[in-house]
Amino acid sequence: MAPGARVDRFEIFFDLVFVFSFFIITRATALHISGASLLHALLVLAVLWWAWVVHSVVATRIRLGEGFVPVLMTVGMAALFTFALALPQAFQDPRGNAAGPLVAAVSYVVIRLVHLALFMHAVRDSPNERRQLWHFAPELIASTLILLAAALLPVRISDTGTAALVRDGLWTTVVLAQYSTGMIAGTWGWGITSAEHWTERYDLILIIALGESVISVGVGSNLLGQPPTWPAVTAAVLGIFFTAALWWAHYDMIAPAARIALHAAKDGPRVAMARDAYAYLYLPMIAGIILFALGAEGIVHQIADPRLPTNDPAKSPNVPLLFGGVICYLSANMLFQLRTLRTVSWTRVGAVLVLTVAIPVAAALPALAALGLLTAICVGLVAAEVVVFADAREALHKLVFEEKTAHEANEAAFRARWHERDEGE
Read off the amino acid at residue 167: R
pLDDT on residue 22: 83
Helix/strand/coil percentages in the chain, nearest 5: 80, 0, 20
Which of 89-93, 183-187, 333-337 shows the highest mean pLDDT? 333-337
Mean pLDDT over 315-338 rounds to 95
Q: What angle is formed at CA 395 by the lines to CA 394 and CA 397, rounded to 5 degrees?
A: 65
More confident residue, 33 or 216: 33
Q: Is the pLDDT of residue 224 over 60?
A: no
pLDDT on residue 422: 59
* 300 and 374 inside one domain: yes
Per the CB < 8 A criterion, the answer to whether 246 and 378 are in contact is yes
Domain count, the chain: 3
Mean predicted lDDT score pLDDT of the chain? 86
More confident residue, 396 or 316: 396
pLDDT 10s digits, 32-48: 888 888 998 999 999 99
276 burial type by CB count under 10 A (0-12 exposed, 13-18 middle, 19+ buried):
middle
Q: Is the pLDDT of residue 31 over 90?
A: no
Q: Among 273-282, 356-365, 404-413, which is the least confidently predicted range?
A: 404-413
pLDDT on residue 361: 95
pLDDT on residue 1: 60
385 burial type by CB count under 10 A (0-12 exposed, 13-18 middle, 19+ buried):
buried
* 315 and 375 inside one domain: yes
* 270 and 354 inside one domain: yes
Per the CB < 8 A criterion, the answer to whether 217 and 239 are in contact is yes
The CA–CA distances, whole Å, from 176 to 43, 60, 168, 171, 173 equal: 10, 24, 12, 9, 5
Q: Is the pLDDT of residue 221 over 70?
A: no
* End-to-end CA, the chain: 33
Mean pLDDT over 123-129 rounds to 72
pLDDT on residue 226: 66
* High-pLDDT (> 90) share of the chain, %: 35
The band of 94, judged by pLDDT with boundaries at 50, 70 and 90, is low
211 burial type by CB count under 10 A (0-12 exposed, 13-18 middle, 19+ buried):
middle
Report d(CA 197, CA 194) in Å as an integer.
5
Instruction: Give the CB-side neighbour count of residue 170, counting CA atoms within 13 A.
Output: 22
Strand partners, 140: none
* 219 and 294 inside one domain: yes
* 171 and 230 inside one domain: no
More confident residue, 220 or 39: 39
- The answer for residues whose C-beta is within 8 angstroms of residue 342's C-beta and 6 or more apart is none
Question: 139, 166, 190 — which closes off a domain?
Answer: 190
* 110 and 175 inside one domain: yes
Per the CB < 8 A criterion, the answer to whether 200 and 256 are in contact is no
pLDDT 10s digits, 292-324: 999 988 888 888 877 777 788 888 899 999 999
Q: What is the DSSP string of 141-206?
A: HHHHHHHHHHHHTGGG-S-HHHHHHHHHHHHHHHHHHHHHHHHHHTTTT---S-HHHHHHHHHHHH
More confident residue, 338 or 63: 338
More confident residue, 53 or 2: 53
Q: Among 18-22, 147-151, 341-345, 388-392, which is the least confidently predicted range?
A: 18-22
* 405 and 338 inside one domain: no
Question: 159, 190, 221 — which closes off a domain?
Answer: 190
Report d(CA 11, CA 14) in Å as an integer.
5
3-state secondary structure of 313: strand
Q: Among 56-70, 193-207, 265-279, 291-305, which is the least confidently predicted range?
A: 56-70
The band of 341, judged by pLDDT with boundaries at 50, 70 and 90, is very high
DSSP label at 92?
S
* 350 and 371 inside one domain: yes
The band of 8, judged by pLDDT with boundaries at 50, 70 and 90, is confident
* 143 and 168 inside one domain: yes
* 282 and 355 inside one domain: yes
| Structural domain boundaries, residue 264 | 195-388
Backbone φ, ψ for residue 97 (5° rounding): -150, 70
Total H helices, total E strands in the chain: 16, 0
pLDDT on residue 188: 59
Question: 190, 222, 239 — which closes off a domain?
Answer: 190
Report d(CA 358, CA 356) in Å as an integer.
5
pLDDT 10s digits, 133-175: 776 778 888 888 998 888 888 878 878 888 889 889 999 999 9
Report d(CA 124, CA 159) in Å as an integer.
49
* 231 and 285 inside one domain: yes
pLDDT on residue 378: 96
* 405 and 376 inside one domain: no
Q: Is the pLDDT of residue 193 over 70?
A: yes
